[in-house]
Amino acid sequence: MRVGVLTGGGDCPGLNAVIRAVVRKGVQEYGYEFVGFRDGWRGPLEGDTVPLDVQAVRGILPRGGTILGTSRTNPFAGSGSGPSGAERIKDNLAGLGVDALIAIGGEDTLGAATKLYAEGVNVVGVPKTIDNDLGATDYTFGFDTAVNIAMEAIDRLHTTAESHHRALIVEVMGRHAGWIALHAGLAGGANVILIPEKPFSIEQVCKYVEHRFQTRYSPIVVVAEGAQPADEEFAAADQGVDSFGHARLANRGVGQLLADQIEQRTGKEARTAVLGHIQRGGTPTAFDRVLATRFGVHAIDAVHDGAYGNMVALRATDIIRVPLTEATATLKTVPPERYAEAEPFFG
Ligand code: F6P
């Protein structure tokens, strides 16, 4: 049995822990061979492989990023008059003697995995994303690390904000979901947290900010990159779409918009820190290492059981299997009642 492994979409801490777990259990318990595919779906599309054995996964548990490389290649993006992406992948897998594929990725990578499974490819999915926005799993690995990085940044920004009597705006990632902002803001004691799920009033944000200054503390405003003002059209920098047709939201300027508005309306100085890809780098937390390792172990078990077309998922404390179709069917956004838990700490 030869099993291919790929990591697709934005990287996140914990990818290497999955790869290690898949290979270690696959080789030791099932006697499988592995083939690593480079850079997400580009690897199987072009037949670009890298050797993957127990030696190759030694020492990678604490390493961020992915030893396989990643990309946002969409195998279903138009292939002109040549063979379709699915046909090319099937031919390459057959040529390499690969019987099954483990695809580690988020909404886009797993969406492609779902379509390939429908076309006859033996796929098992593993959910990853710092955004934590996949409906079928309680948590994705990478999220906890990103939240901890953002929390540490907020802790540091508190001291400089207070020294200068400034408002500090912290822009975090998350695409259309406010999970990173909500958790980092709660953990870091933010003055207000702004998420895409609830358009914000700039007037209300300024009231919170002024109130915090009155209590002799400096406000920290945590804003998700996808947050949007309710009352006015926000002329965000247009950064186009990726190969899956999704708007690029990182660095589109919502943090700077808030800083400008706060300065204009309150007369206080404001500065913005855009955390950006720092949230995706470096070593995973213990939580993410454990979750990623468990996902890897259960993914290779799914291959062993022939349970293709499934994704491993965390439900409470158990790892379960869910159909890939379900995995990408709903985007998990922050429900109003979860956001309401943070509101007593605003202002
Ligand atoms: O999905 C993970 C994520 O980090 C989002 O939070 C962010 O909007 C996006 O990826 C950034 O993508 P890229 O690395 O392609 O700039």
- Quote the pTM value: 0.95
Listed as ranges, residues in the chain with pLDDT below 50 are none
Q: How far is the CA of 250 from the centre of ligand 1 (A)?
A: 6
Report CA(112)–ligand 1 centroid distance (Å).
Answer: 18
Q: Which of 163, 189, 176, 131 is nearest to 271 (CA)?
A: 163
Confirm if 203 and 261 have CB atoms less than 8 A apart.
Answer: no
Determine the pLDDT at residue 251.
75
* 248 CA from centroid of ligand 1 (Å): 7
**Contacts of 139 by beta carbon, 8 Å cutoff, 6+ apart:** 132, 291, 314
175 Cα–ligand 1 center, Å: 7
pLDDT digit string, tens, across residues 291-340: 999 999 999 999 999 999 999 999 999 999 999 999 889 999 999 999 99
Active site (annotated) includes residue 131: yes
Pocket perturbation via mutation, ligand 1, pick of 7, 104, 107, 175 by most ligand atoms within 8 A of CB: 175
Q: Where are the alpha helices (DSSP H) in the chain?
A: 15-30, 42-46, 85-96, 107-118, 143-164, 179-188, 202-214, 254-266, 286-304, 324-327, 336-342
What is the model's pLDDT at position 234?
66
Per-residue pLDDT at 240? 78
Residue 252 is predicted with a pLDDT of 80
pLDDT for 248: 80
Which atom of ligand 1 is nearest the CA belonging to 72?
15
177 contact partners, CB below 8 Å, separation of at least 6: 131, 132, 133, 195, 196, 197, 224, 226, 331, 332, 333, 334
Q: Take atom 15 of ligand 1 and give the residue whose Cα is closest.
A: 10
Mutation choice for ligand 1 from 248, 252, 274, CB with most ligand atoms inside 8 A: 248
User: Could you tell me what percentage of the chain is helix, strand and coil, using 3-state DSSP and rounding each to the nearest 5?
Assistant: 40, 20, 40
**Pocket lining for ligand 1, CB < 6 angstroms:** 10, 106, 129-131, 173-175, 225, 249-250, 280
| Amino acid residing at 159 | T
> Of 11, 39, 108, 131, which one is the catalytic site residue?
131
Ligand 1 centroid to 172 CA: how many Å?
10
Top mutation candidate among 173, 195, 275, 277 for ligand 1, by most atoms within 8 Å of CB: 173
Phi–psi pair at 24, nearest 5 degrees: -60, -50
How many alpha carbons fall within 13 Å on the CB side of residue 235? 0
Task: Give the DSSP H or E segment for 323.
Answer: strand 318-323
Ligand 1 atom with minimal separation from the 175 CA? 8
